[in-house]
Amino acid sequence: MAEHKEHLSTVVTYYDTHPINEEQILRALQARQVDMTSLTEEVLKDHDQDHFGGLQANDVLAAKAGIRKDHHVLDVCSGMGGPARYLAHRIGCKVTGIDFTESRYHSAIKLTAMVGLEGLVDFVHGNALEMPFPDNRFDVVIGQEAWCHVPDKPRLIAECARVVKPGGVIAFTDILRTDKLSKPDMRRLRSEMTFPDLETLNGYAKLLEKSGCTLLEHDDLSEIWKRVLEDRLAMYRSLGKETERHFGAERSREWDDAYAFFVSKYRDGKLGGGRFIARRDRAPAQADDSKGA
Ligand SMILES: C[S@@+](CC[C@H](N)C(=O)[O-])C[C@H]1O[C@@H](n2cnc3c(N)ncnc32)[C@H](O)[C@@H]1O
């Protein structure tokens, strides 16, 4: 997608130099003296989630989406595949992940093979805005704290609605802006966090409805995330030395500045979070022509 090429390459650089990465996960496992030749998902699951609220957030999303063993789930912007592996392991469903950052895609495949879940979980390298899947393919589409990086949210939601089966569910959480966020703050988030723009709680609700979905729930997670993000900032700071060794002092400092700024916007109510559960309608919404009759 030519018009978004430049933005996509900044996202790739951001994730290629992210403090949470395959090497960092493997080092954390080694520090726990885990035998890598018999690594299991029960152990890996505590190290490979890159969203807010960890495993519990996966459980809540899966329960609200009604994910079952006979479902095929698509994780849009799946990163290193933590949620995909977790859902397949816990529920027994099939999960496909799609991610644009090649290093994330390769790590997802490697970690999945290490825990022997490749029979249930697979990954595709691709762009969420033009997914290489046929219409009506998946029972459930999920996403967690990733769609904030994707430009053109109407197209993103329309793509998700296209690939989910009629009657299927789109369930996701995402970073949102509130109406207090200023343009200079948004510009800084764009350049430092690679968020091209951010949706609002009502904005996503409208996009889902416009894309032929019935909104079942939309929950404001802003207050909960205020606390979650303070803990996340502390976690990234605890990885500071490792980030410095891996990507250099400049990137480590840059990350800290960017993340501290991001978290401060939660503190002052300029950023928020939301969870959305929507069912794709069985038939496209009909224009109401009875009024003219
Ligand atoms: C915060 S990570 C989320 C990973 C995953 N949801 C998890 O919880 O572990 C965001 C991911 O979105 C991916 N991403 C961003 N823009 C994308 C796009 N346009 N298409 C596909 N993937 C994208 C990034 O490469 C990154 O791996």
pLDDT-based confidence at residue 3 (cuts at 50, 70, 90): confident
Q: How far from chain centre, in Å, is Cα 129? A: 14
Q: What is the 3-state secondary structure (H, E, C) of 11-49?
A: HHHHHHCCCCCHHHHHHHHHHCCCCHHHCCHHHHCCCCC
**Biggest CA-to-CA distance, the chain:** 74
Please report the atom of ligand 1 found closest to the CA of residue 127.
20
The residue contributing the CA closest to ligand 1 atom 9 is 50
Average pLDDT of the chain is: 95
Distance 109 CA to ligand 1 centre (A): 15
- pLDDT tens-digit readout, 230-288: 999 999 999 999 999 999 999 999 999 999 999 999 999 999 999 999 999 976 555 44
Distance 129 CA to ligand 1 centre (A): 12
Task: Please report the pLDDT score of residue 145 as a whole number.
Answer: 98
pLDDT-based confidence at residue 290 (cuts at 50, 70, 90): very low
Which CA distances in Å does 103 have to 14, 19, 125, 169?
11, 13, 10, 29
Report whether pLDDT(293) > 70.
no
Q: How far apart are CA 137 and CA 267, in angstroms?
A: 40
Residue type, 142: I
Report whether pLDDT(291) > 60.
no
- pLDDT tens-digit readout, 88-136: 999 999 999 999 999 999 999 999 999 999 999 999 999 999 999 999 9
Q: Which CATH superfamily is domain 2-182+197-223+272-282 in?
A: Vaccinia Virus protein VP39 (3.40.50.150)
Task: Please report the pLDDT score of residue 284 as a whole number.
Answer: 54
- Residue to mutate (ligand 1; options 101, 103, 145; most atoms within 8 A of CB): 101
Please report the atom of ligand 1 found closest to the CA of residue 81.
9
Distance 79 CA to ligand 1 centre (A): 5
Tokens of 170: 């789109």
CB 29 within 8 A of CB 36: yes
Residue type, 119: G
Domain boundaries defined on the chain: 2-182+197-223+272-282
Distance 148 CA to ligand 1 centre (A): 9
Query: Model's pTM, two decimal places?
Result: 0.95
Backbone phi, psi, residue 20, to 5°: -90, 115
